[in-house]
């Protein structure tokens, strides 16, 4: 049976060179980066080199890079510290953010009694920028806007410059969950009007359990995790040295090969859209995921023309045929609630049809996509 992995928005295959660098680090550089002897200094040098390298690729200052366990921790850290340390009283977000943001801001309303407001969305899942401006001007409270750059389920790309301009004009902080875009798009943090970004290595062919936050210098944030002086005192805990090495290697490789790999994956996505429309008349791509100009090149979210009864067996059937994909975020697996993203933008009747996220990487081929489409076509015919 053919094995086809089309769930790259959930996690990606680790690059061979990343595995090799991590193995080398585990075998040869085992000192604690906080120790002052030569073993520790050697490890510390590697950690700081990784920080400087990552900063260089996104035009940030090394001190703005804080290593974390991943995107979820980075989002939690930024949002919690912004409320605790910056006097934020109002958070403006959307109902289609990743749960790392949504669940955090919901908890903050309970703990700090902040005002939580949601920007209105259009039928494709884009924020209403006029409504966002109205929310920013609604009162004089200190505000933070949290809107993700690339939606992890429908792939919509946020207009970062427009949101940044609105935040700057109204004295608000701007946090963007960039887990689906860092490593896939070029960045110039120094010239952007975003105050806080987040990244996870496993989204760009690195190891799981490591990521970073990008926090503007002199932001005023204080540590969330205390107990040691690691990460310039901002995040206590012995650095996950081998994972940082893997993160750096994956990040550098992704950007060194960005144009080549982006063009290749764009070709896969366009091929998938074209062939799906031929094979399954009536297929609809949710959000802007079928629009190459308005969505990320790494995924599509397809609403398939199957009835409710047939839908029940779809993902099970795909799995039996060796095809890995998702009905939404991997963080929702095991949940019967369905996609909170699609619930916000689709009418009830359309929600009854199965929507499946197919996400692509450099390791996929057109032949794999054709196999997946043929499986869907055969399923529809039976």
Closest CA to 177 of 190, 354, 163: 163
Q: Record the tokens describing residue 152, joined without a space.
A: 């992890």
On whether the CB atoms of residues 8 and 361 are closer than 8 A, the answer is yes
- Residue 331 annotated as catalytic: yes
Catalytic site residue from 81, 167, 325, 331: 331
On whether the CB atoms of residues 31 and 39 are closer than 8 A, the answer is yes
Q: Record the tokens describing residue 4, joined without a space.
A: 């086809």
> What number of other Cβ atoms are within 10 A of residue 58's Cβ?
23
Please tell me whether residue 301 adopts helix, strand or coil conformation.
strand
d(C-alpha 63, C-alpha 52), whole Å: 8
Q: Give the helix/strand (H/E) hosting 214.
A: strand 211-215
d(C-alpha 211, C-alpha 66), whole Å: 9
Q: Which neighbouring-strand residues pair with 301?
A: 357
Q: Give the helix/strand (H/E) hosting 234.
A: none
d(C-alpha 97, C-alpha 94), whole Å: 6
Alpha helices in the chain (DSSP H): 16-28, 38-57, 71-86, 99-112, 129-137, 160-169, 241-256, 258-279, 308-311, 314-320, 340-345, 348-351, 366-381
> What number of other Cβ atoms are within 10 A of residue 229's Cβ?
11
Q: Locate tokens 């991590």: which residue?
A: 22
On whether the CB atoms of residues 149 and 174 are closer than 8 A, the answer is no
> What number of other Cβ atoms are within 10 A of residue 344's Cβ?
13
d(C-alpha 359, C-alpha 9), whole Å: 6
Annotated active-site positions, please? 331
């Amino acid at each position: 049976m053919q094995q086809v992995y089309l769930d790259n928005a959930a996690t990606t295959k680790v690059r061979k060179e990343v595995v090799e660098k991590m193995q080398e680090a585990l075998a040869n550089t085992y000192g604690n980066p906080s120790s002052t002897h030569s073993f520790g200094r050697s490890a510390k040098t590697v950690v700081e080199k990784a920080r400087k390298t990552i900063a260089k690729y996104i035009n940030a200052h090394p001190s703005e890079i804080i290593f974390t366990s991943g995107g979820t921790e980075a989002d939690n850290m930024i949002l919690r510290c912004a409320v605790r340390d910056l006097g934020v009283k109002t958070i403006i977000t959307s109902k289609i953010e990743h749960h790392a943001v949504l669940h955090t801001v919901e908890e903050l309303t309970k703990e700090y009694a902040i005002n939580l407001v949601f920007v209105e969305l259009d039928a494709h899942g884009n924020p209403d920028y006029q409504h966002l401006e109205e929310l920013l001007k609604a009162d004089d409270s200190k505000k933070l806007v949290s809107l993700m750059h690339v939606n992890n389920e429908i792939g919509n790309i946020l207009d970062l410059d427009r949101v940044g301009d609105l935040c700057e004009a109204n004295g608000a902080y701007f946090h963007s969950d960039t887990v689906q875009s860092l490593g896939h798009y070029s960045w110039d943090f120094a010239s952007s009007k975003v105050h806080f970004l987040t990244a996870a290595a496993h989204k760009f062919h690195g190891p799981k359990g490591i990521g970073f936050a990008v926090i503007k210098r002199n932001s005023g944030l204080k540590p969330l995790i205390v107990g040691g002086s690691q990460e310039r005192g901002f995040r206590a805990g012995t650095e996950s040295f081998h994972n940082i090495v893997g993160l750096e290697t994956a990040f550098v490789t992704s950007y060194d090969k960005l144009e080549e790999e982006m063009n290749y994956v764009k070709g896969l996505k366009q091929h998938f859209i074209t062939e799906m429309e031929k094979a399954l008349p009536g297929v609809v791509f949710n959000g802007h995921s079928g629009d190459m100009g308005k969505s990320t090149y790494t995924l599509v979210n397809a609403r398939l023309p199957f009835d409710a009864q047939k839908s029940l067996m779809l993902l099970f059937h795909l799995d039996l045929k060796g095809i890995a994909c998702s009905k939404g975020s991997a963080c929702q697996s095991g949940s019967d609630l369905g996609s909170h993203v699609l619930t916000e933008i689709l009418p009830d009747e359309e929600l009854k049809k199965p929507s499946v996220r197919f996400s692509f990487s450099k390791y996929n081929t057109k032949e794999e996509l054709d196999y997946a489409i043929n499986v869907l076509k055969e399923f529809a015919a039976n």
